[in-house]
Amino acid sequence: MGTILASAFSLGMVAQGADVEIRSMSAGDFRSAFEVPVGGTQEGKNETFHPTYAVRVGRAVVGHPATAEALSKLLGVPIPVSRESIALSPGDVLMVAQVVGRQTVSGAEVAAPELTYFSVRVYAPRTIADLRAERSELRESVAELEALRPPQRPQTQAEALKALGGIFG
């Protein structure tokens, strides 16, 4: 289980039968996903605390040097080039910076790629029995809330019309 930085995603990476959730995000949100608090400062005794963050990237699977370089610039830490296959299991999160279109080469230089960012969260599959159990729990919760509701006294027809603001009268 863990968070993996990657430059591509395929459903073939996901364990058979697992559920996935894919969410697109901005470059800033992508970077923030790798930030961890490492300290901070506080102005005065009762003032606001200002946390300090550092970027931490554990495992990275980025197969093209230009993409690795672009991610290194975005995240502010070195991202190595690594072409390996990965298998995602429930609990894993894949943070993907995928090239839009193709990598372009101009002369001997590779142009900086345009990237799109998204996260892929992998969940254990939910069975019909799981869904029925969740529904049963929700019904019990609703019943508990209904029991907490104060009893309402019956209204006469005149009181009901008055409460409605005379709409019908």
Q: Which residues of 132-164 are buried (b: 16+ CB within 10 A; e: fewer)?
A: eeeeeeeeeeeeeeeeeeeeeeeeeeeeeeeee
H helix runs in 15-127, sequence order: 27-32, 65-75
Please give the CATH architecture assigned to the domain spanning 3-123. 3-Layer(aba) Sandwich (3.40)
Residue 23's φ and ψ, nearest 5 degrees, are -130, 130
Residue 146, helix vs strand vs coil: helix
* Higher local confidence (pLDDT), 12 or 39: 12
Question: For 64-105, what is each residue's pLDDT tens digit?
Answer: 898 999 999 999 889 999 988 899 989 899 999 998 876 555
- Do the bridges between strand 19-25 and strand 49-55 make them parallel or antiparallel, or are there none, so unpaired? unpaired
Question: For 19-29, what is each residue's pLDDT tens digit?
Answer: 899 999 999 99
Domain boundaries, the chain: 3-123, 128-163
Question: For 138-158, what is each residue's pLDDT tens digit?
Answer: 998 888 888 887 777 666 777
